Chain A
Amino acid sequence: MIGMGILQGMAVTARNFVGSYFEKDRLITVQYPEERNPLPENYRNFPFLPYDGDDPHAGLRCVACKICEKECPPQCIYIVKSEDKKPDHMGKPQFYPKVFDIDISVCMSCQICVEVCPFEAIKMDKVFELSRRERFDALLLRKSDLAKSNEYYHSICPTDATEVDAKLAEAAAKKKPAPPVAPAASAPTA
């Protein structure tokens, strides 16, 4: 009978309309700035540089090897390597990035810098409220904006951060037996 299809469809619409007031899993509106949905742990948005210890400059794990700069598909990373070595938070002299800029107006959060980094020195952040009034400078994150503590990394990605810490500790333990004197000798000079 003509019209039956339309009536059937309207019954579906009516059921959905009523359900949107009573079905629990469909009452999903969140009053955004006050309430927030929790982000999944794997969520990623723009990279940052975790640092160990208290000093954001000495504690950076980055040694300015420039691998991420080379591998970054949209070429949004700019690094200037230091000429001298400075002691890192363990007291070991290392090269460090004199300049480390990420242009987040270009960055597409693809995570390739994180994957290629051999030093666990760059990780994905979870910030997304980054609107700015200016188009250029405010969206160019400098080293001081990018450096965030390892505790912050633990707070956003607990599982990952614990794994990374274990990996770094293991690598440090492996290195120690070979030159047992070197770190002790360099420590007083630093």
Chain B
Amino acid sequence: MTATIQTLEPIERPPTTMGSRLDGELLEVSMGPQHPSTHGVFRMNVALEGEIVRKLKPVFGYLHRNHEKIGENTTYLGSMPYTDRLDYFCSMTNNWAYALSVEKLAGIEVPERAQYLRVILAELTRLQNHASLLGFLLNDMGAWGTPLMYAFREREKILDLFESLSGSRMMCDYMRFGGCRCDTPPGWMEHARKLVDAFPRFIDELEKLVVGNEVVIARTQNVGKLSAELAINAGITGPMLRSCGVNYDVRKVDGYGFYPRFKFRIPLGAHGDTYDRLMMRVLEIRESVGILKQAFEQVQAGPIMNPKVKIRAFRPPVGEAYGRIEAPKGELGFYLISDGGTNPYRYRVRPPSFINLTVLEDLCLGHTVADVMVILGSVDIVMGEVDR
């Protein structure tokens, strides 16, 4: 058998507005998987007319690791460290989503302190994810390095917190069914509180750096417009959906964890363009800082693990459950079917960045190649989660 090279389907020639083309044919360009701004091993087959994108076909699967099948062949607990590797920027929220669905499946209660810690860790994850996304997005726009280094400086502080709590910067593997693995080391809360109090300073600085910048405005406003109808129909979630003005946040809709106990607002965009998506992250960081401040006031000492949960030979009852949370990138859900054994019968991940990526072609059509990179950056993908 010979290897076949994947190509685009034959394209009908679209009506061209530029008369003086060489021969009017579309040029097929393969962007990625080694392109520096495709955020990992992501490839796009782009059909170009001059510099304008006429057709775009995402190709993924380069980072496929058979996550779901591995999940069906290991114990429930054994899948927890693998969830860290989905969206490796936000392992804490991945842990929470998986723990939540298993807790739903087995009907496990979570102690109060663990719930607060989960909220704190999820919001810290949101801070560092959004901060580094802003850095990457500006990097794609040509602001080489500077905003990204500022963002990574702040991210590093949060990762240090994660390391002193869980033992690892990125592969935290911290949450367990019915609580969290270990309590905070002495002084951790004060350290975290200080960091959160100082965080708005970084956001002010970043806003000064980019938000009023004429180049950023020219590159992002009216680029990659997403309509609310298309976003809802395509199942887009997270900041990308809210930038179109759709008020949908799982934290408010489901009220999972202790989120109903906190006062926070959901920022909404109006245009659904790249600028709105960028600003959505800035505003969400500000709201997250608010949630964190409330959580630090409310959290009390107490047990961190539900003592009834067995660590070895954990068998949830027969049934199925879908647990979802508002991860920084959108709705992250785990769908589990249990047949009463130690392994799940079916283990399915609903990854936000994969589903948010499905509208990429609609966002990019009619824009230039340079804009494709900016639009892709604003979708906020992590290939570990897209390919699984």
* A contact residues vs B (CB 8 Å cutoff): 2-6, 8-9, 11-13, 16, 26, 40-44, 67, 71-73, 108-112, 115-116, 118, 124
Contacts and interface: CB of A to CB of B under 8 A. Distances in A.
Given A6-B215, A109-B168, A73 B208 contact: no
Nearest to A124: B167
Contacts of A115: 181, 311
Given A16-B150, A71-B78, A42 B165 contact: yes
A13 B214 contact: no
Given A42-B165, A73-B78, A111 B213 contact: no
A112 B167 CA distance: 13
Nearest to A4: B212
Q: Which residue, of A8, A40, A115, has the highest number of chain B Cβ atoms within 10 A? A: A40
A42 B185 contact: yes
B312 A6 contact: no
Nearest to B217: A5
Contacts of A67: 312
Contact of B208 (A3, A12, A110, A124): A12
B149 to A, nearest CB: 9
A64 B114 CA distance: 33
B163 interface: yes
B8 to A, nearest CB: 38
Interface in B136-186: 146, 150, 153, 160, 163-168, 171, 173, 181-182, 185
Interface string B237-254: 000000000000000000
Contacts of B111: none
Contacts of A8: 208-209, 212-213
Given A40-B164, A43-B167, A116 B311 contact: yes
Most central of A4, A8, A118 by chain B CB within 10 Å: A8
Per CB-CB distance, the 9 closest pairs between chain A and chain B, nearest first, are A110-B81, A5-B212, A44-B167, A73-B78, A40-B164, A5-B213, A42-B167, A9-B209, A12-B209
Contacts of A4: 212
A26 B202 CA distance: 14
B163 A42 contact: yes
Given A16-B150, A40-B163, A71-B75, A108 B209 contact: no
10 contacts: A5-B212, A5-B214, A6-B215, A9-B213, A12-B209, A43-B167, A43-B168, A67-B312, A73-B81, A73-B82
Contacts of B68: none
Contact of A112 (B77, B150, B168, B182): B77
Interface string B308-327: 00011000000000000000
Contacts of B311: 115-116
Contact of B173 (A40, A41, A111, A116): A111
B168 A44 contact: yes
Contacts of B362: none
A85 B268 CA distance: 68
B312 A116 contact: yes
B221 interface: no
A108 B167 contact: no
